[in-house]
Structure 1
Amino acid sequence: MSRAQKIISLITLVVIGLAGSYLRFSELSERPMHADEATGARLTSFRLNSDQPYQFNPEHFHGPLLTLTAAISCKLAGENEWSEMSKFPLRASCAIFGSALLFLPLLLYSRFGFSVAILSASLLATSPLLVYFSRMFTHEIQLTFFGLLCVILLIQLTPQRKLSYYMLIGLTLGFMFAAKETFAISVIAWFASWVLLKLPEIRSCKFGQLEQKIRPYRAPLASCVGAFLVVWLVIYSNGFSQPAGLWDSLKTYFVYQIEDGHDKAFGYYFDMLVIPEKRAIWWHELPIFLLALVGFARSFTAISHARVIRFLGYSAFIHLLIYSLIDYKTPWLMCLPWAHFCLLAGFSISGFSQWSRTLKLSSITIIAVALSIQLRTSQQASKRFHSDERNPYAYTASNRNMESLEVWLGTLNNELPAGSLSPMQVIGENYWPLPWYLRHQPMVTYTQQPTSLPDSSVPVLFVMPVHFELYSEMLSHSHVPFVRSLRNQQPMMMYLRRDLWDKWMENWPMNH
């Protein structure tokens, strides 16, 4: 590579890095807190407060890596308890992984060429799905980072690799497990892809010969498993302080409770990502899928590294198939499978340097158009439509008025006599992310199934839909009702005691 080419390559990398990071960090605190983000924040607060030690829950929550990294981020921001926490440090702990994700294809550079690495990185940087969920405080982007790192290590695995390389794979798998138990799906997909690739050899190989071929890999596999176990032991036991977490990490595969209402048709993911749909804007990531198909198809022609590309193609499509067969579906579950497709799409221009000038210019034009489409969609998904029902990635998004609720409660606290709003009561189930917006309130109680009539002396009550009828009648004389929305199409009723409302209204002309 000439000096000029190196300068161009460096500039390209800087542009991709800046663009990808901007998409992930810009206005990171603007979107209302999602219910899953709020529960993750509450778990993180237990790591910050030694009086309430963190403990892995195998029935309801995923791996401990998310809260571990978030706790570090919060402490660096000077936030040491629940009431001090803010959105940016929490989301930044994931946006960092999302930004680092787009640099992983550079590990392909020495073997597969600069063009493959740059295109893969560009697609990862601008993918609306990956941008949107890099900005969200959930487990998925950490799983995606370590999962993509693992598959990049796997496709460059050769018999000449040292034991340290296998240990690195084991560590990566360990961090995948620490992020989320669904890492097992990726292991299954990768193994199935390897079997498909090696099927002709396996069929012609006798058992004795098979055992002979496996024997040299015993030590490498042992080092891989050993590294995996180290990560598992340290993180799930919370630094060996809670050994029960190790058993719970295995038990979660049998006792995890899946919420109702997330069953989708087999083609849900394909429709969401590949089929263009006009909802205010055109939503799709068709360019990535088409480029991935080109890359996969080329692996069946006389192209270098064909078996590697085919393995990656099998992995991408098997991931998509497995997740599509599972009834429980949410958009973020596609992050790791879609990262596979971005990587596969990069191989669509494998051998670019040997192409004709006309073919190069045509390919660059097509890729530039594809990236511009993705860039615009990513901006719209993360900014204008970040909580809009028309955005397919804004799944069960919190309503924007939750932000104004927090501001209003703060104003009430400042303008009414001290302690006037305490204690507050939340009545019913499925109230997240409400606790996040009440974290500054000194006394809040939560009652899922009220056993008695409502207490008319309580200053503020938040009532979920199932109890609307009872409370609207019983509090009609003592409280003033306000309709609020937790999430899109999910209302909530707030009741403010009438004497406090009257006092607020008396002060309104003076203060406003």
Structure 2
Amino acid sequence: MAPRKEVTLSLFTLILLAALSLGLASFYRLPSLGTRPMHTDEAILGIKLGEFWQTGHFQYDPKDFHGPALHQTSLLWAKLAGWGTPETWTETDLRLVVALCGLGVLLTTLLFADALGRYGTAIAMLLTAVSPMMVYYSRYFIMEMQLVLLISLTLGCFWRYSQGGTRLWLILGGCALGFQHATKETFVLNVGAAFAGWLVARALVGEFVPRKGNSMSLGPSRAKGRPTRPWLWVAVPAVLVSVAAFSNGFRDWQGVADSFTTYISYLERSGGSGHEKPWHYYLMLLVWHKDTLVWSEALIVGLAVIGMGYSVVAEFKNTGRQAFLVFLSVYCVVLLSGYSFLSYKTPWSILSAQHALTLLAGVGANAVWSAMPGRTIRWIFNAALAVGLYHLCDQSIRLTGTHRNPQFEYSADARNPYVYSHTQKSLLKLVDEVKTFVKAQAKAPKIQVITRDVGWPLPWYWRTWKNVEYLDKLPATLDGEVIVADTEFYDQIKAKIPADSYSEHYPYGLRPGIILTLFLRKIQPTPTTVPEKLDAAPASAVNDPTPLSNPPPSMVPPEGTISKQPIFSPTLPAFPGGLTPQP
């Protein structure tokens, strides 16, 4: 049976939809990057980036914090963009680096255009542009989005080489592979899944040979003959890039050794380490999560399943294309299964699997659209697809902090399934209140932060202040003009400080279940001398304890010494002692 002729888009329509995708992706990724409070991970990475800027040396910790690649990328961008010193950096500066990586992921879809089909490529780009998970973590200063970009670039380079590209594609793919290792150690799961996909594709289909007259081939034709050892053209640049990154430019070889010993720590943490989730956690995250709203990327998953089935059972003129689609299907299933098998789960961990699902969703959409009999039915399918895209857009706008209705803003709300152990927005109120207090002082006040995890992300917000102590237990002396403490230390602090010396301000949410109280030392009024002669009142009135109805300014308590009624955030968890949040 001859393969069914595939219906395709014009090149102009593909370019138009690609431009639309880029516009949507920019709209959801770039505005208001600084409105969401810093997550602890973002704050730690921001501080480490500042140290890297100042010292020129990245201190790799094999037990945590991941590789140097994101810091190196950020440092390069900082130099090009003219950030200035770390004291002047903003949350927007840091997150813009990741947002640009997110746009890069979108553009790498074009490397697979001849595999996905023109229609499939356009749909995959649109889905990538508005996917809530892709949008949210493209605004998040952590390693994952750069890792996804490098993975997509690596696979795209290898596909382009298999379709007639030069050895430069192998070199570029090898460099991207090495930088993956320097970005995050979990890249080995992607390598393992890719190897499994390659084995199955070779067994079921055969070689990834190009189709003659391939109209979507990107890159010049390969020189005569294949290199006898093509893997060397990948391995050598991969090793060089990885070693250069971990060794700080071939200067610190301990970092290179630690990049391998780190996997001992990862094996220990794979059991959960406080992040244990059931095996179906990621599936539910992608397909169905209801908390006030229905959060779902079921459109992507459903189309991806169709794409997987089409890759296996359809007949292709180009067997190389089928080999790649089978590879991509097996790679996606193995990768998602591997992450689901591990007890340790965080929502951003499966971004690379979700990206593979999005590419396969383009394949599925292309298969359905091509199978539609007649232009009218295809327009109906396009309309249904547009409704699904609108639902994704509606979710994405709620994640960005730019929704015109504040009630629909979920950028740091625990009801957002992509929010994980996130800093509460009320912490920004604490930061502003302390900033106002500090500005009113003649000299820099002493600040004591007393929490079990030393108050992250406060060290980021107060990184320019030198007189700050971050403590994980109650100190012998409580002498700070500003004291920030969680509920665990509240009673002990109240017992140690004079009751009339501090004003209390609360509650502020550090993270779910961690509530902070702010103590500000009251400004003592300057003593005034009683005049020898009182013309306006009899001498007995000097010792009269009755308050004056119109006291002179010198007797009015300074502003801020009386605590205001506490304001409760509706997104905070239940408070200790049965307190109920009020709107």
Return the TM-score normalized by structure 1.
0.88
Change (3 A) 1:488 1:347: same
Aligned counterpart for 2:495 among listed residues 462, 473, 476: 473
What is the CA distance between 1:437 and its match in structure 2? 2.0
- Determine whether 1:388 maps to 2:413: yes
Change (3 A) 1:350 1:12: closer
Partner of 1:206: none
Structure 1: gaps (5+ residues):
203-215
Q: Identity over the aligned pairs, expressed in percent?
A: 27
Partner of 2:432: 407
What is the CA distance between 1:425 and its match in structure 2? 4.3
Aligned counterpart for 1:491 among listed residues 472, 491, 515: 515
Partner of 1:14: 19
Question: Which of 374-383 and 256-265 deviates more?
Answer: 256-265
Aligned counterpart for 1:190 among listed residues 186, 189, 194: 194
Aligned counterpart for 2:49 among listed residues 4, 26, 44: 44
Aligned counterpart for 2:279 among listed residues 247, 254, 266: 266
Distance, in Å, in 2 between the alignment partners of 1:162 and 1:75 is 32
Aligned counterpart for 2:71 among listed residues 60, 67, 70: 67
Native 8 Å contact 2:178 2:238 kept in 1 = yes
| Residue-by-residue CA offset, 1:126-151 (whole Å, 9 max, x unaligned) | 11001000000000000011112223
Native 8 Å contact 1:35 1:432 kept in 2 = yes
Aligned counterpart for 2:123 among listed residues 113, 119, 122: 119
Native 8 Å contact 1:434 1:486 kept in 2 = no
Structure with greater proportional helix content:
1
Question: Which of 321-330 and 465-474 deviates more?
Answer: 465-474
What is the CA distance between 1:246 and its match in structure 2? 0.7
Partner of 1:367: 385
Distance, in Å, in 2 between the alignment partners of 1:303 and 1:362 is 26
Aligned counterpart for 1:482 among listed residues 505, 520, 524: 505
- Determine whether 1:325 maps to 2:341: yes
3-state DSSP class of the match of 1:102? helix
Structure 2: gaps (5+ residues):
1-8, 207-225, 402-408, 527-553, 562-583
Native 8 Å contact 1:155 1:311 kept in 2 = no
Partner of 2:294: 282
Question: Which of 106-115 and 288-297 deviates more?
Answer: 106-115
- Determine whether 1:35 maps to 2:45: no
What is the CA distance between 1:306 and its match in structure 2? 2.8
Partner of 1:460: 482
Change (3 A) 1:311 1:507: same
| Residue-by-residue CA offset, 1:61-120 (whole Å, 9 max, x unaligned) | 111111122233444554444432210110000000001111111112245432121111
Change (3 A) 1:247 1:500: farther
The number of equivalent residue pairs is 489
Distance, in Å, in 2 between the alignment partners of 1:362 and 1:300 is 27
Question: Which of 316-325 and 424-433 deviates more?
Answer: 424-433
Return the TM-score normalized by structure 2.
0.78
Partner of 1:416: 441
3-state DSSP class of the match of 1:166? helix
User: What is the root-mean-square deviation in Å for CA atoms of aligned residues?
Assistant: 2.8
Question: Which of 98-107 and 189-198 deviates more?
Answer: 189-198
Partner of 2:229: 219
Distance, in Å, in 2 between the alignment partners of 1:47 and 1:501 is 45
Distance, in Å, in 2 between the alignment partners of 1:166 and 1:75 is 29
Change (3 A) 1:160 1:27: closer
3-state DSSP class of the match of 2:120? helix
AA of the residue aligned to 1:106: L
Between structure 1 and structure 2, the one with the greater Rg is 2
Distance, in Å, in 2 between the alignment partners of 1:252 and 1:136 is 24
What is the CA distance between 1:426 and its match in structure 2? 4.0
3-state DSSP class of the match of 2:162? coil
Native 8 Å contact 1:461 1:496 kept in 2 = yes
